[in-house]
Amino acid sequence: MLWDALTLQLGYNATLVAIGATLLGFAAGVTGTFLFLRKRALVSDAISHATLPGVCIAFMVMVALGGDGRNLPGLLAGSALSAWVGLLCINGLTRRTRLAEDAAIGAVLSVFFGFGVVLLTVIQTMGVGRQAGLEGFLLGSTAGMLFADALIIAVGGAATVLLVMILRRPMLMVAFDAEYAAATGVPVHRVDLAMMGLVMAVTVIGLKIVGLILIVALLIIPPVTARFWSDRADRVVLLSGIAGGLAGYLGAAVSASAPNLPTGPIIVLISFALFALSLLLAPARGVLAAVLRHRRFQRRVHVRQGLLALAQGQEVYEPYTRRLLRRAGLMRADGVATEAGRARAAKALRDERRWGLVRADQTHEAAAAQYDGLRDIETVLTRDQIDEIDRRIGPPHEVRA
């Protein structure tokens, strides 16, 4: 069953949903990366919650005009409109008042959503039996999706990806350094608005599949996941798109393979699984790698401090330092350096003297900047340069610049 779903053999509708979810995931992952790099990830949460009043008003207007309240393009247009108003409110609150952005986000999110709920109850009392389905926008519902709806999602997703590709340079510049971007003539404010417009587009498209509460997960989790794997912004954008698309595809397939597996939550949970794996296992930024690196680093600090103390005939007091030195065979239990310890200590001390000269010498400025107490001098200077310094050191008392 799952295999059938993964290979898109579960019928027409499931296939459409899977394709739509994949495109949506990719578009959301790519768009969300710019938001994440701009450190405004949670703006998407406000945007998505702010769609609710728009959906309700659009429904009421369409019913009042005698049409079908559930017309998807109409509802999406309404949601886009009220999300836009919400966005303007966030901008107004942060620019015109002393409120920080997080407070503005929270205020818009809760007030718009609260107003949306009021409107939902109004619709319930309107006595039209057709409101069923509006609640579906909260958590998404792909069951009984029409071909036309799926087409809208697929086309919308593809259009968003295209727009992101066109706008990616200015958006990256603004996300990296808004002031610099402004200085080079990038219209920062307009780029920001375009970024928000794209986020809004993704939100509106995603309403039907994952719902307004969970769509923000697709905008936030894939970028955070991708960030673990690369330090280059363009790669993060691509990886994030792939992570989002993968989650969308797998989520839609898993959800179609059995009953009671709602699409939205499944997509989010798969997205999170990818994130958790990255958090733990990513080679450079992952937790496991960081823990190992820190332990190694701490050992190096203690050993080096211990060696320098030994070199000057001082006693080593920190218990951890003593333990490390003894374990490495550099020090005896009574605190006296071994043969190997004395050799290493002498080398450490000599390196310190060399560094002292290098750091006081203007011609070695670039090398001196590398100093952090641990770095081996051989990694920043050539053999010849070190020999030259050693000649200048000579006997220890002639330390002169």
Site for another protein, residues 234 to 263, rule: CB under 8 A = 260-262
In angstroms, give the least distance from the CB of 270 to another protein: 10
Q: Which of 237, 316, 331, 381 binds another protein (CB under 8 A)?
A: 316
Q: Is 331 in a helix, a strand, or coil? A: strand
The minimum distance between CB 311 and another protein, in angstroms, equals 7
Shortest distance, position 246 Cβ to another protein, whole Å: 16
- Return the residues of window 74-113 that contact another protein according to CB under 8 A: 92-93, 96-100, 102-103, 105-107, 109-113
Residues β-bridged to residue 331:
337
What residue type is 109 in one-letter code? L
Side-chain half-sphere exposure of 125, counting CA atoms within 13 A: 5
**390 near another protein, rule: CB under 8 A:** no
Select the span of 58-66, 161-169, 236-244, 312-320 touching another protein (CB under 8 A).
312-320
Beta bridge partners of 337: 331
Contact between 373 and another protein per CB under 8 A: yes
The Cα angle at residue 389 between residues 388 and 395, in degrees rounded to 5 = 115
Rounded to a whole number of angstroms, the minimum distance from the CB of residue 342 to another protein is: 15
Asked whether position 382 contacts another protein by CB under 8 A, the answer is: no
Chain residues 29-58 in contact with another protein, contact rule CB under 8 A: 36, 39-42, 44-45
Q: Kindly tell me which residue out of 203, 275, 377, 380 binds another protein, with binding defined by CB under 8 A.
A: 275
Q: Which two tokens stand for residue 302?
A: 């203690």
Q: Is 211 left (phi over 0), alpha (psi -120 to 50) or beta?
A: left
Task: State yes or no: residue 311 binds another protein (CB under 8 A).
Answer: yes
Smallest gap from residue 219 Cβ to another protein (A): 8
Q: Residue from 63, 230, 371, 386 that binds another protein (CB under 8 A)?
A: 371
Structure tokens at 89: 């409110």
Rounded CA separation 212/201 (Å): 12
Number of residues lying near another protein (CB under 8 A): 106
Site track for another protein across 333-352, x = CB under 8 A: ----------------x--x
Q: Which is nearer to another protein, 185 or 319 (CB)?
A: 319
The answer to whether 81 touches 88, Cβ cutoff 8 Å, is no
Closest separation between CB of residue 73 and another protein, Å? 26
Of residues 284, 317, 336, 388, which one binds another protein by CB under 8 A? Answer: 317
Element (H, E) at 94: helix 72-96
The CA-atom distances, in angstroms, between 33 and each of 47, 113, 220 are 16, 25, 8
Q: Enumerate residues 201-230 that contact another protein by CB under 8 A.
A: 213-214, 216-217, 219-221, 223-224, 227-228
DSSP per position, 126-193 = TT-TT-TTSTHHHH---TT--HHHHHHHHHHHHHHHHHHHHHHHHHHHHHH-HHHHHHTT--HHHHHH
